[in-house]
Amino acid sequence: MNQDATRQDKAPRVAGGEGVNPLRLDLQLCFALYGASNRVTRLYRTLLAPLGLTYPQYLVMLALWETAPRSVGDLGQALDLDSGTLTPLLKRLEAQGLVDRARDPRDERRVIISLTSEGAALRDKAQPIPGEVVCRLGGDLGELGALREALGALQQRLDAVPARRKASGP
């Protein structure tokens, strides 16, 4: 018996039907992404604990270390987060003394986020984290870079998918 036939025999079948079950958990792209994301977040959690940062707070700090001060709207756009999610993160970072939040004097509707001296200094302590992540993930930089690019391309493809409205019933 050839290898393809053996593989076909082991594939779970749809109950009462023919073919491979399209609802198998291990065949779902969403589940593979979910599992990988959870594991990467756990890896970062371990590395970020000594800095007193959660993974989402680290992402905010990365964005601010790139460009600060910035508006909440600009941060939300950079991080792909809405203000309802971002504001509590910023309040906690402010309580930790890492950022300052202030109304823009030219437009009171805008809130500007800036780094405190403690927040800026934390950058030096965070410097080794990306390298440590690469070491713990294994593989080479080219492979990890290609994976990051593939995930970025997937995000762009998903952004281009038009939102589908539910069909209205009779």
> Which tokens go with 24?
């198998």
Q: What does pLDDT average to over the chain? A: 88
Please state, in angstroms and rounded to a whole number, the distance separating the CA atoms of residues 62 and 13: 46
pLDDT at 59: 97
pLDDT tens digits for 61-96?
A: 999 999 999 999 999 999 999 989 999 999 999 999
Q: Which of 168, 68, 65 is nearest to 113 (CA)?
A: 68
pLDDT digits (tens, 9 = 90+) for 4-47: 444 444 555 555 557 889 999 999 999 999 999 999 999 999 99
Residue spans of the domains in the chain: they are 52-138
CATH label, 52-138, candidates 1.10.10.10, 3.90.1200.10, 3.20.20.70, 3.90.380.10 = 1.10.10.10
State the pLDDT at residue 6: 46
Residue 166 has pLDDT above 80, yes or no: no
Mean per-residue pLDDT, 105-128: 95
Instruction: List, in sequence order, every residue forming a beta bridge with 99; answer none if it has no partner.
Output: 115
Burial of 100 (0-12, 13-18, 19+ CB in 10 A): middle
Q: At residue 124, does pLDDT exceed 80?
A: yes
SS (HEC) of 65-97: HHCCCEEHHHHHHHHCCCHHHHHHHHHHHHHCC
Give the pLDDT score at 7: 47
* Whether this model's pTM surpasses 0.85: no
